[in-house]
Amino acid sequence: MEKLIITAALTGAENTREATPHLPITPREIAADARRCMEAGASIVHVHARREDGTPTQDKEVYREIIHLIRQECPGLIIQVSTGGAVGMTPEERLQPVSLAPDMATLSAGSVNFGNDVFLNPPQVIQTFARAIVEKSVTPEIEVFEAGMIDNALRLVKAGILALPLHFDFVLGVPGGMGGTPEALIYLKNQLPPGCTWTVAGVGRAQLPLAAMAIILGGHVRVGLEDNIYYRKGELAANAQLVERVVRLAAELGRQVASPMEARKILNIDREVGAC
């Protein structure tokens, strides 16, 4: 089996310092957590930016600083920026960090209810984002909250905007999206064309069981405070603790963990390391 790629989703756009004191918010805090996660075994960091007051932002300059600090702290680590941002942001706002040519960027492949809101990704927006990502030679990660989003991404392949093989992230357990169940994960991974890779981001209590399943099924794993702030019921976690647990699980299950350089190979990220 391919080595296991662990992504640390450090901050997200939704969780707050009030909910957990472990949430990294400033560029320095984010870079320091990225280093702890890399040392623990993560090869990708999924990055969201926050303003000083903790509110989410897609401001290119804040991302520039985060990327610069992560590059200093964590040579080789794969930096994946969010183009999802927070619900309610305009597409123009959301797309800003792609212009910095990071290693990877997310591409949400459809609209979905998101708690009490709607995470809006109409076809034109998905196409515009895909074109912008490809134009900068950034590797996309297709965010899938619902089964039809795989078809949406494959439609972009048919249209010649994206090329196979693609890397997918199944985000399961968002209230409004597909549930965080074993059946959902198995269904989704079975829809992918040969050669595509996938990771799973289980939300809340789905994080740990879906991570274990992905290790066994040959997928990859995303953990972190963006998706889940608890180590176990009632006990808050830090990002690196969640990564460390996946590393231990992988060892018990006989799956080796990929280094950032190995993850670059698996995901066909052929840009020069640290190019952005």
Token pair for 23? 């949430």
Instruction: Work out whether 13 is an interface residue with ligand KMH (CB under 6 A).
Output: yes
| Residue entry with tokens 């998706």 | 227
Say if residues 64 and 49 touch (Cβ distance below 8 Å). no
Which position's Cβ is nearest ligand KMH? 84
Instruction: Give min distance, CB of 106 to Zn ion, in A.
Output: 6
- Residue 125 one-letter amino acid: V
Token pair for 45? 């960091």
Residue 167: alpha-carbon gap to chain centroid: 11
Which position's Cβ is nearest Zn ion? 82
Instruction: Work out whether 120 is an interface residue with ligand KMH (CB under 6 A).
Output: no
Instruction: Work out whether 62 is an interface residue with ligand KMH (CB under 6 A).
Output: no
> Could you list the residues that contact Zn ion (CB under 5 A)?
82
**d(C-alpha 276, C-alpha 274), whole Å:** 6
Other beta carbons less than 10 A from residue 157's beta carbon: 15
Strand pairing class (139-144; 104-108): parallel
The option from Zn ion, ligand KMH, none interacting with 207 (CB < 5 to 8 A, set by class) reads: none
Instruction: Work out whether 63 is an interface residue with ligand KMH (CB under 6 A).
Output: no
Binding ligand KMH by CB under 6 A: which of 6, 30, 86, 130? 86
Binding ligand KMH by CB under 6 A: which of 29, 60, 87, 93? 87
Smallest CA-to-CA distance from 226 within 207, 245, 249 is with 207
Nearer to Zn ion, 82 or 152 (CB): 82
Binding site for ligand KMH (CB under 6 A): 12-13, 82-84, 86-87, 106, 108, 114, 119, 143
